[in-house]
Amino acid sequence: MMTDKSPTDKAPTGQALTDQTIRNKHNSAPLVQVNGLSWVVDGQRLLDDISFSINEGEFVGIIGPNGAGKSSLMRCLYRVNRPSEGSVYCAGDDVWKLSAKESARRTAVILQETSEQMGLSVEQVVSQGLTPHKKLFELDTEADRTLINKLITELELESLRTHSFATLSGGEKQRVMLARAMLQRPRLLIMDEPTNHLDVHFQIEVLRKVKKLPITVLASFHDLNLAAAFCDRLIVMDKGKLVAHGSPSEVISETLISEVFRTCCVVDKHPLYDHPRVSYAVHE
């Protein structure tokens, strides 16, 4: 059984990070620290010796082809996949030595797919975000209701408040999940392909909202242009290994995309913004 943190569970302060550690822009200790993480299933190393860190307030993207291990890596961070080797620290504590509730108070997750929630309304799904903060029998307080109302207003969900979650469009569902995640009051928000199933308008709208949040974000992407546009830094994965990391301009190159994604492309500067743009060679 997981227990609450003990003094010995603290992250190894001053420990030299490996070469794969992403550069630390800030002087403070990183919020997330992944050290030599491997995940082995049935003798297969699905994640192999991964190390990186994320500073408070950063928006970090994980990119890589299908089966690269992006989702598996994120699952190790929010306590679904227990690492076979190595460790994951969040806010100074080994997440696998925290209680499930304490971990959920620090890390919120927005998954690609959510069940239809058997008739729950938008407001009820949002209020699920209170779960890690409440004890048995503890009811919602006035302060909770105020915060729920504020998030529903901020994410433009007022007209949908009593609608069944199952009847919403993909973009609306994603906004509901974002409101729920914010109600968790986490320090880290993990998003598994947040723009999956969304049209261009909602892809940009959801990521703009996330970008404005005063929070650390780790998100996986398939769309390299969106990743380049919104992320401060990128982690590139292939076959369970971390193969590159750095700012979008440092990471996204024709060579890397050709090697990792086995796709020819042209990388130039975006005509409107200061980040790279990828144009794929789609015709043979």
Shortest distance, position 197 Cβ to other proteins, whole Å:
16
**Nearest approach, Cβ of residue 133 and other proteins (Å):** 9
Residue 136 C-beta: closest distance to other proteins, Å: 4
Task: Identify which of residues 87 and 184 has a Cβ nearer to other proteins in the complex.
Answer: 184
- For the chain, how many residues are written? 284
Taking CA 109 as the corner, what is the angle to CA 251 and CA 115, rounded to the nearest 5 degrees? 120
Burial of 206 (0-12, 13-18, 19+ CB in 10 A): buried
- Rounded CA gap, 14 and 63, in Å? 29
Residue 171 contacts residue 89 (beta carbons within 8 Å): no
Please state, in angstroms and rounded to a whole number, the distance separating the CA atoms of residues 83 and 102: 19
User: Please, are residues 93 and 5 in contact by the beta-carbon 8 Å criterion?
Assistant: yes
**Tokens standing for 199?**
């049209």
The residue (of 132 and 248) whose beta carbon lies closer to other proteins is: 132
| CB of 184 or CB of 216, closer to other proteins | 184
Judged by beta carbon, residue 138 or residue 268, the one nearer other proteins is: 138
- Least gap, CB of 192 to other proteins (angstroms): 9
Nearer to other proteins, 135 or 283 (CB): 135
Q: Tell me how far, at minimum, the Cβ of 57 lies from other proteins, in Å.
A: 21
Instruction: Report the phi/psi class of residue 92: left, alpha or beta, with left for phi > 0 and alpha for psi in -120 to 50.
Output: left
- Residues found near other proteins in the complex (CB under 8 A): 75, 78-80, 99-105, 107-109, 111, 113-115, 117-121, 124-125, 128-132, 134, 136-138, 142, 145-146, 149, 162, 164, 184
* Extended beta strands in 55-202, E state: 59-63, 85-90, 93-94, 107-110, 188-191
Q: Are 86 and 36 in contact (CB under 8 A)?
A: yes
Least distance (Å) between residue 39 CB and other proteins: 16
Min dist. Cβ of residue 130 to other proteins (A): 7
Residue closer to other proteins, measured from CB, 163 or 241: 163
Q: Which is nearer to other proteins, 145 or 269 (CB)?
A: 145
Question: Could you give phi then psi for residue 120, rounded to 5 degrees?
Answer: -65, 145
Please state the separation of Cα 207 from the chain's center in Å.
12
Closest approach, Cβ 79 to other proteins, in A, equals 7
CA atoms within 13 A on the CB side of 51: 13
d(CA 128, CA 169) in angstroms, rounded, equals 20
Closer of 106 and 233 to other proteins (Cβ): 106
